Structure 1
Amino acid sequence: MPLIDIGANLTHDSFDHDRDAVLQRAREAGVVQMVITGASREHSPMALALAQRHPGELFATAGVHPHHASDYTTECDGELRALHAHPEVVAVGECGLDYFRDFSPRPAQRRAFEQQLQIGVDTGKPLFLHQRDAHADFVAMMRNFEGRLGPAVVHCFTGTREELFECLDQDWYIGITGWLCDERRGQHLRELVRHIPANRLMIETDAPYLLPRTVKPAPSHRRNEPMYLAHIVEELARDRGEDVAITAAQTTATARAFFRLPH
């Protein structure tokens, strides 16, 4: 049951002491390929370097998360464009808007997002997108680039039914994480995932964040890692009323096509 994790923050310092072991546990759990998230000026080059050490297995994104939008300068834009010259970098992002935390001012978030959407236009690469509590502005900005962008995935979707259908109406893809397994705030996703077409659905851990709360026994350190993708796909299949092998095969095929990954 080969799986692809489309979003893992493996450059996070919590993996510095056992990254090779984390990768091996993922392989043993059926994860055959991963896309390593680049979400800042610091970590995007690290994601590329990690992908280059594991050719054909690991790939990278390059972008600046809205939390770090204040760091997005002309020099930063040039650095990202240089990273996108490498074939291991398969998507633009993580980029978007986050009005829940507002770690960067909203005007700075919008400027950084717009500049990264332009990188998407110029490179033709897929987009790896973040949106939290900013749906209206997010959709409006994406529509400003309508007809010029490649495929886009709304990573770690946690929104409402209305937001889901608006994303699907735009032909965007949906990334589902272990948020699905959180009885406190993800319960609504249990019903919503039934409505995502198989050719628009992908799975991710967002490790080390969002450890599925239904994993038993829970690890004492509470760190998520890619091996738990197998648990997420099982929960997702149950909620979609599908055999887990079907959900696994479909999400893997969709991810390979979206990111243009080799078999």
Structure 2
Amino acid sequence: MLSGALRMSSTKRLKLIDIGANLTDAMFRGIYHGKQAHKADLTGVLDRAFDVGLEKIIVTGGNLEQSRQALDLARIDDRLYCTVGVHPTYCSLFTDPNNGCEGDPDRYQEELLVLATSTRAKVVAIGECGLDFERLQFCPKDVQLQYFEKQLILSKKTGLPLFLHCRNAFPEFMGILEKNKEMIVGGVVHSFDGTLEEALTAIDFGLYMGINGCSLKTEENLAVVKRLPLEKLMIETDAPWCDIRPSHTSYEYVRTQFSSKKKEKWEQGTSIKGRNEPRNIIQVLEVVSALHEKPSSQVAEQIYRNTCTLFNWPS
């Protein structure tokens, strides 16, 4: 039995890869809303992840500074990798006078390229990039459109696939990808929660779908994931976000539960209630397997092959 488990599935140890975890987030340093609630515990988080069978974790970069932090983190363990890019809600940083590049967007882009090519064994994708029209308070639509397209140049120059974000912007999102198809060597739409038609359009373009707790909230979400081909799926946690909660429709399919404590009562070796972490990838796998009515081992094997194919790892 794994440490901290209340109820474990009968699934044996599986080969798993978390394609997206925000491990540079302050929560893993014990900081919530700017206040220190407990000691940094990332080491324990990683130990628990590897204990459940995670072979690799891709640490997500959201802007130039976060991407640097993600690469620094990836260098500490052979099982950690990272992305380099700018999240749509951070795209205003390209011209921010305080962006470390004197507000020069071309210089900011060049710094991203330098970082992406500095350690090719560790940087496996360009991103997280894309469009997010649900949170325009963080970055205007026109700025997002401009710098999403600009980042596709990084994919062409590096030969790396894209780690993509799309929220309430699918027509514009696909429009930019179609317009720049020759620059793209592949990619995955992470945290997908759109319609079946949108998913199939993206798959027909050549993209994979990344599934996490936010992809599995509602009956409508589950109906979509059920109909997606396993050959085009990957799984992720998007930790510390997007956990599967009791209020989610998918919760009934979760077989593996882990004990957790409120952050104020943290102890060494414990998980934090409400803070997602990579070991919870097993729950995403259980839901996807249940929806497709296949054994977790079979689904895990297919998803593992998919992931290795996109990120150029031997399977």
TM-score (norm 2): 0.79
What SS is found at the alignment partner of 1:14? helix
Identical counterparts, % of pairs: 37
Letter of the 2:299 counterpart: T
d(CA) in 2 for partners of 1:240, 1:255: 18
Structure 1 position 181, deviation (Å) = 4.0
1:1-16 matched pairs, under 5 angstroms: 1-16=14-29
Runs of 4+ in 1 over 4 A off after TM superposition: 215-218
> Deviation string for 1:230-252 (max 9, x for gaps)?
11101110011111111111111
> Deviation string for 1:102-144 (max 9, x for gaps)?
1101111011101111111111110000000000100100011
What SS is found at the alignment partner of 1:107? helix
Letter of the 1:61 counterpart: T
Find out whether 1:135 has 2:167 as its counterpart: no
Structure 1 position 218, deviation (Å) = 7.2
Letter of the 1:235 counterpart: V
What SS is found at the alignment partner of 2:183? coil
| 1:34 counterpart (57, 64, 68) | 57
The aligned residue for residue 189 of structure 1 is 221
What SS is found at the alignment partner of 1:70? helix
Find out whether 1:95 has 2:95 as its counterpart: no
The aligned residue for residue 4 of structure 2 is none
- Compute the RMSD of aligned alpha carbons: 1.4
> Deviation string for 1:4-53 (max 9, x for gaps)?
00000001111120011000000111111111100112210011111111
> Deviation string for 1:67-89 (max 9, x for gaps)?
10000222221111011112111
Letter of the 1:48 counterpart: L
| 1:21 counterpart (44, 47, 52) | 44
Find out whether 1:206 has 2:238 as its counterpart: yes
| 1:58 counterpart (80, 86, 92) | 80
The aligned residue for residue 223 of structure 1 is 275
Find out whether 1:69 has 2:104 as its counterpart: no
Letter of the 2:23 counterpart: L
d(CA) in 1 for partners of 2:232, 2:115: 27
What SS is found at the alignment partner of 1:253? helix
| 1:124 counterpart (143, 150, 159) | 159
- Structure 1 gap segments, 5+ residues each: none
1:207–1:223 CA contact under 8 A, matched in 2: yes
Letter of the 1:70 counterpart: S
d(CA) in 2 for partners of 1:81, 1:98: 23
1:180–1:187 CA contact under 8 A, matched in 2: no
d(CA) in 1 for partners of 2:259, 2:291: 21
Letter of the 2:132 counterpart: D
What SS is found at the alignment partner of 1:53? coil
d(CA) in 2 for partners of 1:97, 1:118: 16
2:152–2:183 CA contact under 8 A, matched in 1: no
The aligned residue for residue 152 of structure 1 is 187
The aligned residue for residue 249 of structure 1 is 301
TM-score (norm 1): 0.94
2:63–2:87 CA contact under 8 A, matched in 1: yes
Worse-matched range after superposition: 146-155 or 128-137 = 146-155
Structure 1 position 217, deviation (Å) = 6.5
